[in-house]
Amino acid sequence: MQHVPPVPGPDAKATGETLKEILTSLTTGVPIAEQPDEEKWPDVIARLQVEGRIAEISEEVWYYFLEVLPPKLLRGSWFCFAEGQEPLKILWRKQGKFFGRQLTWDETHRLCDATGLPKDYGYL
């Protein structure tokens, strides 16, 4: 089994962070890259790969990521996507709009700690 990248800061268990607190920190308070009209697929992917920024996406893009591979996490109106052992993307819908955010390894590990998702999810 390959090595999972280390967590640079304290994990959610150590800080007592709740899942709700983590989700709030990941889905609010950072810049939102609005979805341009008639955006081409490579541009959608490029916007979704920027860490520290929320990307507004279309409903079709949201469903693509939901259906192309089984989600690593699926809870209510949000889910996490990864093709393998890479940082998660979190995608959610709120008030009729759809969003995605590329997580860092630290954010990914915090979410894993809070949900019980094994940190080696890409090898399962």
Which helix (H) or strand (E) is 2 found in, with range?
Answer: none
93 lies in a domain? yes
- Over range 33-57, report the average pLDDT: 94
5 lies in a domain? no
114 lies in a domain? yes
Closest CA to 66 of 55, 53, 52, 76: 76
As a whole number of angstroms, the distance between CA 99 and CA 53 comes to 10
Report the amino acid identity of residue 31.
Answer: P
The one-character DSSP state at 77 is T
DSSP character string of 17-72? --HHHHHHHHHSSS-EEPPPTT--HHHHHHHHT-BT-EEEE-HHHHHHHHHHS--S
102 lies in a domain? yes
Residue 28 token pair: 């609010």
37 lies in a domain? yes
pLDDT surpassing 50 at residue 1: no
Number of domains in the chain: 1
8 lies in a domain? no
11 lies in a domain? no
Range of the domain at 47: 16-123
pLDDT surpassing 90 at residue 104: yes
What pTM does this model have? Answer: 0.85
- The predicted pLDDT at position 5 comes to 61
10 lies in a domain? no
- Over range 30-50, report the average pLDDT: 93
